[in-house]
Amino acid sequence: MEETERSSRVALVTGAKGVVGAAIIARLQAEGFVVGGLDDGTGGGDLAMSVDLTDRSRTMAAVERVAAELGPISVLVTAPYLHDTAPFGEMSADRWKRLLSAHLGATVNACAAAVPAMVNAGRGTVVTISSWLALAGIPGEAYHAAATGSILAFTKSFALEVASSGVRVNCIAVGPIEADHVLPADVADTVVFLANDGDFFVGQVFSAAAGAVV
């Protein structure tokens, strides 16, 4: 029964071109999901679309198209990956705005576009991707920590707003991939766990940091 149910499920991944987003798409497809992959670049998955995720109305239109072509979206994963860093005081206002939009802006836009239909359906899984930099203090990363940390704060409150409608929102704070501590596959496994088995997790932060942050 579970298998048939899963094979017809549709997932939407934003930030499809990033290392983490791409691993999540591959894993969801292996689980039988049909995946729409949005990105500022070329996108990925079964329906790849290029869209400016920091633009609310364009994101709405793209998500609408994914739902129209693939079917109702039951899993949303937001996986922003723009990394920009500068010592505090040395990032221009425009650069900071771009960084914050790429993380919080794109996350919020994707949720605004995809979650109302989940609420109507009475079920759905949302996984926001943040960073270990949001949990650990790292000199020189104040801007990036703030941009990704805002996703944690958004996730916790938003999760409570839609929990009673059967939609589950949780966050994965991804550890230092560069240092090969955490594998994108582990993050992807967590997404599948939350989609299939995570109904009693609400507004939680999964720190996939392999001990870098506990």
Query: Judged by CB, which is closer to another protein: 88, or 193?
Result: 193
Cβ proximity to another protein: between 100 and 213 the closer is 213
What is the distance of C-alpha 67 from the center of its chain?
Answer: 17
Residues 76, 124 contacting (CB under 8 angstroms): yes
Which residue is associated with the tokens 């071109």?
A: 17
φ, ψ (nearest 5 deg) of residue 108: -65, -40
Task: Give Cα separations from 79 to 1, 22, 69, 148, 212 (angstroms).
Answer: 30, 9, 22, 11, 20
Smallest gap, in angstroms, from Cβ of residue 144 to another protein? 20
Length of the chain equals: 214
Binding pattern to another protein, positions 180-209, x when CB under 8 A? --xx-xxx-xx--x--xxxxxxxxxxxxxx
109 vs 131, beta carbon nearer another protein: 131
- State yes or no: residue 137 binds another protein (CB under 8 A): no
Report the site for another protein in 101-130 (rule: CB under 8 A): none
Q: How far is the CB of 70 from another protein (least distance, A)?
A: 27
Mark residues 142-171: x for contact with another protein by CB under 8 A, - for none. Answer: --------------x--xx--xx---x---
User: Contact with another protein (CB under 8 A): which of 21, 37, 124, 175?
Assistant: 175
* DSSP β-bridge partners for residue 206: 172
Minimum separation from the CB atom of position 167 to another protein (A)? 10
The sign of the CA dihedral 175, 180, 185, 186 is negative
The tokens for 22 are 């791409």
Minimum CB distance to another protein, residue 13 (Å):
18
**With contacts defined by CB under 8 A, how many residues of the chain interact with another protein?**
32
Angstrom CA distances, 19 to 81, 182, 189, 211, stand at 8, 12, 14, 21
Residues of the shown chain interacting with another protein in the complex, contacts defined by CB under 8 A: 156, 159-160, 163-164, 168, 175, 182-183, 185-187, 189-190, 193, 196-211, 214
